[in-house]
Homo-oligomer: A and B are copies of this chain.
Amino acid sequence: MALIQKLVICGVGLIGGSFALALRRAGAVKRIVGVGRSPESLARAVARGVIDEAVTDWRSALDGADLVLLAMPVGQMDAVMAAMAPHLRPGTVVTDAGSTKRDVIEAVYRHLNAHIAHVVPAHPIAGAEKSGVEAAFASLYDGRKVVVTPLPENEPAAILRVREAWEACGAVIHEMPPQDHDRVFAAVSHLPHLLAFGLVHDLAGRANAEQLFGFAASGFRDFTRIAGSHPEMWRDICIANRQAVLAELDQYLAELAYLRALLLSGDGERLEQLFAEARRARNAWAEQYGAAAPTAE
């Protein structure tokens, strides 16, 4: 792939910072400029050598940029695109790392329509317990999936640029229509997060919360690990993808209604059958994907 002369990363946290470090590791980038809402965080990114320079205005940031990665929580996409639009040069390729795609694409049409040929949405399926630039590391994307959801208006060369950048980070590229992306991740990621947040919130509000937490064991620990996720990021994801998340939640509520009926009627046979089917599917998944499952999403 052609060397990236100037990479701009907006939101230099775990995701954006690791993209920078991975491209450096691959020798694929010459100069990296960071943009963001927290000057302190950007200064730490410079100090750690993740970015070469922190820039506060979009005009100078975008001057001569050949690739821009938007790696903020998706709730900020609209405002950021509006701010950068006037300064975006023809030919600069823009991509993002948002966990939802349809809302990001709406913002693209709204603000970056003039540059649509070069705006290629994507979503790296990777992450870690910790957030922030301190948590960034070069191998975060090794063997991880990146879902690219190209627009019909995209130039093939722009799509290729984005694919090659992620490949240089060690990732495996998948393409998918944005609506499929949002439905798939509502089911396997957004809903589980909502369910885990909900359970912990429910228990934490009980009069005997101390006692409950005192006897919680490793099943609870693993089930609720994702309830330790970043509240703002997950607020943005749930709001951005709420149509698909609501559809998944309603389907899950139907499943729970069925389970409730089996409990009420004491139907052990059907309960065991359902548990056995779930166990089979879960073990088959764990064998095929479990070992390679990213640390977080």
B278 touches A217 (CB 8 A): no
Q: A220-B293, A281-B204 are in contact. Are A286 and B228 (CB under 8 A)?
A: yes
Asked if A252 and B217 make an inter-chain contact with CB atoms under 8 angstroms apart, the answer reads no
A68: chain B residues within 8 A (beta carbon): none
Q: For A223, what are the chain B residues with a Cβ–Cβ distance below 8 Å?
A: 192, 195-196, 222-223, 225-226
Q: Are A188 and B200 in contact (CB under 8 A)?
A: no
Q: Is the CB–CB distance between B187 and A192 below 8 Å?
A: no
1/0 per position for A241-272, CB-CB distance to B under 8 A? 01001100111110110011001101010011
Min C-beta distance of A260 to chain B, whole Å: 6
Of A88-96, A161-169, A206-214, the stretch lying at the interface with chain B is: A206-214
Give the complex CA separation of A253 and B260 in angstroms.
Answer: 10
30 A-B pairs in the complex with CB atoms less than 8 angstroms apart: A147-B215, A184-B208, A184-B211, A188-B217, A189-B216, A196-B223, A196-B278, A198-B274, A199-B255, A201-B255, A201-B277, A202-B255, A209-B281, A213-B281, A214-B289, A218-B293, A218-B294, A219-B296, A220-B293, A221-B286, A222-B222, A223-B225, A227-B278, A229-B275, A231-B273, A231-B275, A234-B275, A236-B268, A246-B264, A250-B260
